[in-house]
Chain A
Amino acid sequence: MPEEFKPGCARPTGGPVGEEPAKAGTEEPIIKKEEQKPMIQVGKKAPDFTAPAYFQGKFVNIKLSEYLGKWTLLCFYPGDFTFV
Chain B
Amino acid sequence: MSIDSVFVHKMWNDNELSKMVKGGVPFPMLSDAGGRVGTAYGIYDPDAGVETRGRFIIDPDGIIQGFEVLTPPVGRNIAESLRQVQAFQLVRESKGTQATPSGWKPGKTTLKPGPDLVGKVWEVWKTSMAFDD
Contact = CB atoms under 8 A, between A and B. Distances in A.
A29 to B, nearest CB: 25
Interface residues of A, number: 47
Interface in B53-70: 53-67
Interface residues of B, number: 59
B12 A80 contact: yes
Interface in B62-96: 62-67, 72-76, 81, 85, 88-89
B89 A71 contact: yes
Nearest to A65: B62
Contacts, number: 166
Given A2-B28, A45-B62, A71-B59, A77 B37 contact: no
Interface of A: 2, 7, 11-16, 38, 40-49, 51-56, 59-60, 62, 64-65, 67-82, 84
Interface of B: 1-13, 16, 24, 26-34, 36-38, 40-43, 48, 50-67, 72-76, 81, 85, 88-89
